[in-house]
Amino acid sequence: MKHLTVTECFGSIPISDSLTRVSLTAAEADELAHYVSASGLDETEIIFSRYEVTFINYVGFIQLRGCSIEILPKVAGDDPAQSRRVLLRMLQRSGFLDIHESQAGWLQLEKLNLFEIIAYLFTEKISCELRKGIYRSYQHEDGELQLVRGKINLSRQLRRDAMKLPGVSCTYDEFQVSNPLNQILKTGLQLITARSRYFPTKKRATDCLLLMDDVTGPPLTLDQMDRVWFDRTNRRYQESFQLAKLLLRQSTPTASPGGSKNSSILFKMNELFEAYIAYLARNIWDQVTIKDRSHKLLVREGSTRGVFQLEPDLLVVNGQGKSVILDTKWKMIHSQRSRHGVKREDFYQMYAYLTRYQAVEEVLLLYPHHEGIVSSGTCLESWHLEGEPGKKLKVYSIHYEEEELAEQELRTMIG
């Protein structure tokens, strides 16, 4: 099956029927456009033209009938393996994916796409737990039995007596493997056996399914996944469950015009970048507030009701007691553009923070670094409020690929 790799924002996939191994055919492009629309993805961030398709803000994996597409973040050197390592680290640090550095090192990252990496981790974790024994729990059951078990269901039993039917209608608890947790895990394994192309993962998933052969029940909805809870009896399956939920929640299939099903595992880079920077900030400073909601822009006269809730990404108080707001923007700025290409609406947003947060001395706009920016970790642009030189707005870029360097740059920015 054809596999295409593209860099988010900086690259595009050609649409051509003559370059089939490195491009989407017109039919595949139509299939992708249908999937984007049917699955509710942001159509303003997946841009189709006559000759190419570009992905803005999305990273991850899309499975079509005849090909797969992998969207990776920009890294120096444009190395797909390095892009995957950076993406995995950001997912792990941000809480989107439970993975240890040692596990990431085992993977042949230059050969596996994001779906295969998550599938590999999931099957590795669940096979280890299943060898210790499948999880069993008491499940509520209703049925007609020959002998009384649990409690008699009086309303149903009266109807049976009226019809002179044999047996007793009972309500009881059954200790069994067919519980919601196992059903979710089994559904994740079935998804992997159907779609994985990596033999070790596929074989491990098949072996696990044999161990879960007695798990039965109707398919669970996404809402039911959120109602699974953990205690000391099933906590060892929690990591496997989180990976299964990630695969199932983000890979919800959508029927394509050809009758088959397309799916994806996609993340929005603006959310991932914001969560990653929050993780780094909390490693450095003790007083970090994420999404502070203590201020509104305006208050209606004669009441205390405010409008236009302000919600800066990070409110940081450094070791010297200096308050700084840090707002992340997963956008491409460039040193050759006026004001580095910072958008007008971002200036207005930062102005609102500077004026409403009286204790805040600086507001920082933080962008991802790339080769089009002169330097990383140093101030690119600086302004202050008219008449208030102590209230400043500054623009920085950060070298997010290397964690130690990124932390060092954050320390320099905020002090």
pLDDT at 12: 95
Average pLDDT, integer, range 289-298: 91
Residue 372: how many CB atoms within 10 A of its CB? Answer: 15
Residue 291 or 300, more confident? 291
pLDDT at 143: 72
Question: Are 309 and 273 within 8 A, CB to CB?
Answer: no
Contacts of residue 223, Cβ cutoff 8 Å, sequence gap at least 6: none
Separation between Cα atoms, residue 125 and residue 238, nearest integer Å = 10
Whether the model pTM is above 0.75: yes
Question: Are 397 and 367 within 8 A, CB to CB?
Answer: yes
Residue 220 or 28, more confident? 28
Separation between Cα atoms, residue 151 and residue 154, nearest integer Å = 9
Model confidence at 376, pLDDT cuts 50, 70, 90, reads: confident
Question: Are 33 and 98 within 8 A, CB to CB?
Answer: no
Does the pLDDT of residue 165 top 60, yes or no? Answer: yes
Model confidence at 242, pLDDT cuts 50, 70, 90, reads: confident
Average pLDDT, integer, range 328-343: 94
pLDDT at 146: 75
Question: What are the extents of the domains in the chain?
Answer: 2-132+180-269, 137-176, 285-414
First to last CA, the chain: 51
Model confidence pLDDT, tens digit, residues 172-217: 777 788 888 999 999 999 999 998 989 999 999 999 999 999 998 8
Does the pLDDT of residue 251 top 60, yes or no? Answer: no
Does the pLDDT of residue 302 top 90, yes or no? Answer: no
Closest to 324 in 3D by CA, of 275, 396, 399, 406: 396
Structure tokens at 6: 């593209």
Separation between Cα atoms, residue 247 and residue 226, nearest integer Å = 14
